Structure 1
Amino acid sequence: MSSPSSALKGLCPSPFLQESAFPDTGGFIPGRFCMPLPELQNLTCCLPCPSTDWTYPDGFESRTEIANWVNVAAFILSVYLILSFVVLPVKYTHRHYLSVCLTLGVVFVELAFIIPLAAKPEQCLNEITPNDMQTSGVCAISGAFLLFGGWAIVIWVFCRALALHLQICWEVVPGDKFFYASLAFGWLIPIIGLALTLSLTGVSFRFGNVCHINHRDALQDFWGPLLAFAAMGLVLQFITIGYCVHVYMKSILDDKPTTNSSSQAPTYSTSVKSMTARQTYRRVKKLVQLQWRGASIVLVMIAEVVFFAVVFVSMDNSTQINEQLLHKATPWLTCLVLAQGDKEQCMPYTRGLVKSEGVVLAVLIVLGLSGFWCLMFLGRWAMAHGWMEFFRTKVRRQNEFVSADARRLSIDPRTYEMLSGTGPQLNIQTPDRVLTSPQSQSIFSPEPDSKQDRFSPARAYVNPQTSYSYPRPPSQLKEWDPRSTHARPGEIGKGFDTKIYPG
């Protein structure tokens, strides 16, 4: 840590710097750690920037980069998950718009930690002033991605909890209206929230190389609404879980016999209202088996958001310069003056002033684990098989070729190889045929699994001569000869219609 010049120190004791030596030319002015000293001609002295260098042991800034690298690994997994949703058929991924949008929100948070890792921004504008979004472009981008991603995660978690609650508790299957409403609600709310937060509060370097929201009006603009949606999603999730437990307990105590099997839905004779407890339990059990991944990721994401919000708000409140903080920090500040800026001797006095280093690193690392949770709960092992099949198909298509004689054979039909020459028509061995038109297949339709369905030649159908599956002209039928049977010639036509019908 380089020692500042005596001109910057002014009349302030070491290691403090005189605030009047640094005009208000930009940066996050409220982020300065300054205090007035009435006994020294009403001077205001400030700690050098960044203030975390004085409240945490050496190497704290480098250890916060662990969270950045965790987000790099999580970003790779998130990209793999999104590419699987886009490229692979739905039978491998079981993709859903709620899962895709939630993963995109996690990607924005991961980018907020990856960009500073590559750009290496300067945290301080001058010796006592930290940079903010007005003086650092990296700060503005990383802070915007962090706020937007946090909003997107909470809103889409709420939408998923609402959809699960409607399906299990109210037997309402979300349709197109819920789809369009979720898309509008899930992306417009984060955009509006980001615009309000940046315009009213802003972001700056608080700790580490990622910009976080400032203290002024942060609780009203960001943390309050964010925690409100998280709380609503958590309440919906708990109500859904409570309903499942209620149905399970009721099914155990139900003694009425059931006639419908577990795989049958209520028919016209058995309405939903008259379903027994055991039938309701079977229906809820199926929904839970299908939706347990979504329910789990809702609980995990809400727990992460609440943990990050509680820790950061408490850190934010503990670093605000006021008379209470100055009175609480007097032993530590006095120690720094007496030790001539040797912070190692004064570390015991900082325990009650800021959160411990372990808690800060934990909240940053846990925030970076969102990508791992997405892959764990939204990913499937079938995706690996889907990618293997995808690349195997690509290799096969590259190895396929068309012979140079194919054009000549297609022009001269006499050169085709005949399977049979005794039938009434020529049976020609044709190349592979597509049984379904390309327009009728989409990325959601299952592909053929067997190798023979894709690459074996289609055999031409040979119609038997004795087949009556289609009408024949009368000229091809032979008249009945009574001499070829034991019938008497005089009995021809008795009791029978002698008119000949086509076979």
Structure 2
Amino acid sequence: MANHTVSSCPTPFLSAADYSNGGYLDGRLCKQVGLDVCCLPCPMTDWAYPDSFNTVGLAAEWVAVLSTVCTGFLLLSWAVLPVDKTYRHYLSICLTTAVLFMNLGFVIPLAAKPEQCFDSITPNSMDTSPVCAASGAFLILGGWGGVLWVFLRALSLHLQICWQVVVGRNFMWFSQAAGWGIPVIGVVLALLLSGVSFRFGATCHINHKSSLADLWVPLLVFAGLTIIIQFATFGYCIKVYLASLADNSASTEGSNLPSYTNSIRTMTPKQAYRRVRRVIQLQWRGIAIVLIIITDVVFFSVVFVFQDNTSEALKHDDTLAADWIVCLAINKGNKVPCLDLAKPLVVNQATVGAVLLLLAMNGIWLVLLLGRWTMATGWIDMFSGSDRSKREFVSVDARLDDFKKDTRSYEMLSRDSGKMMDDSVTPSVVTPISPAYRSPLRSPSANRESTGSANNDGRRTPDYFGQTVRYHAPARSFSSPRPPPPSGQMSPQPVHTVTWDARDTYARPPRQAQYPDEDDYVNPLGMNRI
């Protein structure tokens, strides 16, 4: 810094000769006054806007913090929770990531609180402030990514609705290459050809040099293509709807599907309308997100380009800001009487506030439109250790550990509803002393009350339960249990039962013996099988 004892610059202007050539020199707002170059103190927004302008910027930064939390919640839910809770899709994930990058462009300055000015008349640039470089890069990357991913989302919807193209893996890889490759290239070109600096609040923005060619024009081109594709899709939907109103063919009155499911060309207008309506019902959230983000980006681009061009015009035409500069000099730096004269030179404060808030709110729109209530219930289930979405089937015997040790027979029940797989109601109390299965091929003498008595051939069934099994007559049985004959006597003649068809009663068909003497054996582990 040079030391000058005399300066011809009126208050509040400062002489450029007193400062070095560091910082972003093109960001200075200076004017030749006699033999001296007088510059407006940095930052310029403090002199062109009222003090409430800083409050608007701070509010936008805190809204961006909330938006960052929302996008982080969505990304974490998509990464951790199952797909049936989140219905995640790569188009939604990548768009949310791009919005997160855009929000970081506002959050980083709020956390770091960087100095906007290199000295009293020069703003900082990405070369003199790492925070400026980071915030500007994230803002440009988020803007590029948001525009590209809403373009790809609109293109995907257009192909599905208008051209009946099922987008698959090839479109996904193309989207990944274009959705992230183009933004990375755009950020590199913007930083190399233009650079970023503190020019509009606490967040660094792209400089004027070559900014139209390397950022604003390409962004507006993709935004324009997105709008054209989106309105073409809307036009096709309206055409299909109007055609369905004039379709009175009787063949489509009771059918929602085309005559041949493998050919879309066979669909009548009403069938096409039903198909388009179903797609719109599934994709209306994505359509709303496309319109919101495109509106924000176009609004921001137009406003910032206008502000940028006005600032450059002030440097080349001294007469545009002459009245405002004279007012500041007369009032010795009191900006309040001169604010009305500064309004034609800058964008209206309400417009600036609206742009900043809309950019910061994109994450909130995403969580409202792409988020689902099942995400919240999924996190609750995860932390509580339960998963209500799974309808697992467990055994009745799992509830009766005191009764079951080695028993293998069980019924498959729904854990939630307490019903079997065939939706039949289970008994409220199930014990292992259920009636034994009686095969129609067995003689009545095999059905005894005691499980520990001997058979006629000398074999003995072990007493697994230690108590007598109580007999319960089946509902459709036409016989009754008979006690075993005394030793040495002939067994009575078997009781003839009425024949029946198992298919009429939905009962189990008679079991055929696979091994000799299999029908004479009672499996004690299967006695509680229903």
Q: Does 1:34 align with 2:30?
A: yes
Task: Judge conservation of contact 1:331–1:349 (CA < 8 Å) in 2.
Answer: yes
Superposition pairs of residues 181-200 of structure 1, within 5 angstroms: 181-200=174-193
Q: Corresponding residue for 2:319?
A: 327
- Structure-2 change in CA distance of 1:335 and 1:195 (3 Å): same
Q: Give me the whole-angstrom Cα distance separating, in 2, the residues matched to 1:282 and 1:99.
A: 25
Q: Post-superposition shift, 1:343?
A: 1.4
Q: 2:303 aligns with which of 268, 287, 311?
A: 311
Q: Corresponding residue for 2:407?
A: 427
Q: Which residue identity is paired with 1:450?
A: D
Q: Post-superposition shift, 1:324?
A: 5.6
- Structure-2 change in CA distance of 1:353 and 1:472 (3 Å): same
Q: Give me the whole-angstrom Cα distance separating, in 1, the residues matched to 2:107 and 2:220.
A: 25
Q: 1:450 aligns with which of 416, 433, 436?
A: 416
Task: Judge conservation of contact 1:8–1:21 (CA < 8 Å) in 2.
Answer: no
Secondary structure of 2:277's partner?
A: helix
Identical aligned pairs, as a percentage? Answer: 45
Q: Which residue identity is paired with 2:27?
A: G
Q: Give me the whole-angstrom Cα distance separating, in 2, the residues matched to 1:70 and 1:370.
A: 10
Q: Which residue identity is paired with 1:12?
A: C
Q: Which residue identity is paired with 2:518?
A: Q
Q: 1:141 aligns with which of 134, 137, 145?
A: 134
Q: Does 1:279 align with 2:276?
A: no
Q: Corresponding residue for 1:499?
A: none
Superposition pairs of residues 144-293 of structure 1, within 5 angstroms: 144-259=137-252, 261-267=254-260, 271-293=263-285
Task: Judge conservation of contact 2:197–2:204 (CA < 8 Å) in 1.
Answer: yes
Q: Which runs of 5+ in 2 are unaligned?
A: 389-400, 421-425, 441-508, 521-530
Q: Corresponding residue for 2:79?
A: 86
Q: Corresponding residue for 2:294?
A: 302
- Structure-2 change in CA distance of 1:428 and 1:110 (3 Å): same
Q: Give me the whole-angstrom Cα distance separating, in 1, the residues matched to 2:210 and 2:340.
A: 32
Higher mean C-alpha displacement, 128-137 vs 312-321: 312-321
Q: Which runs of 5+ in 1 are unaligned?
A: 397-414, 420-425, 436-447, 479-503
Secondary structure of 1:245's partner?
A: helix
Measured against aligned partners, the alpha-carbon deviations of 1:271-329 in whole angstroms (never above 9, x if no partner) come to 32232111111111111111111111111111111111111110111111556642111
Measured against aligned partners, the alpha-carbon deviations of 1:405-434 in whole angstroms (never above 9, x if no partner) come to xxxxxxxxxx99558xxxxxx73479x99x
TM-score, reference length from structure 1: 0.79
Q: Give me the whole-angstrom Cα distance separating, in 2, the residues matched to 1:395 and 1:91.
A: 12
Q: Post-superposition shift, 1:193?
A: 0.7
Q: Post-superposition shift, 1:208?
A: 1.2
Which structure carries more helix by proportion? 1
Q: Give me the whole-angstrom Cα distance separating, in 1, the residues matched to 2:512 and 2:139.
A: 71
- Structure-2 change in CA distance of 1:319 and 1:182 (3 Å): same
Q: Which residue identity is paired with 2:211?
A: A
Secondary structure of 1:226's partner?
A: helix
- Structure-2 change in CA distance of 1:464 and 1:13 (3 Å): farther
Structure number, greater radius of gyration: 2
Task: Judge conservation of contact 1:27–1:135 (CA < 8 Å) in 2.
Answer: yes
Measured against aligned partners, the alpha-carbon deviations of 1:31-84 in whole angstroms (never above 9, x if no partner) come to 0001123xx12x211011111111111242243111000111111111112222
Q: Give me the whole-angstrom Cα distance separating, in 2, the residues matched to 1:451 and 1:5.
A: 85
Measured against aligned partners, the alpha-carbon deviations of 1:191-211 in whole angstroms (never above 9, x if no partner) come to 111111111111000121110
Q: 1:46 aligns with which of 39, 51, 63?
A: 39
Q: Give me the whole-angstrom Cα distance separating, in 1, the residues matched to 2:164 and 2:513.
A: 54
- Structure-2 change in CA distance of 1:323 and 1:178 (3 Å): closer
Q: Give me the whole-angstrom Cα distance separating, in 2, the residues matched to 1:8 and 1:294.
A: 64
Superposition pairs of residues 8-27 of structure 1, within 5 angstroms: 10-24=7-21, 26-27=22-23
Q: Corresponding residue for 1:473?
A: 515
Task: Judge conservation of contact 1:165–1:236 (CA < 8 Å) in 2.
Answer: yes
Q: Post-superposition shift, 1:242?
A: 0.5
Aligned residues: 432
Q: Which residue identity is paired with 2:25?
A: I
Q: Give me the whole-angstrom Cα distance separating, in 1, the residues matched to 2:256 and 2:511.
A: 40
Q: Which has the higher contact order (CA 8 A, sep 6+)?
A: 1
Q: Corresponding residue for 1:348?
A: 340
- Structure-2 change in CA distance of 1:207 and 1:393 (3 Å): same
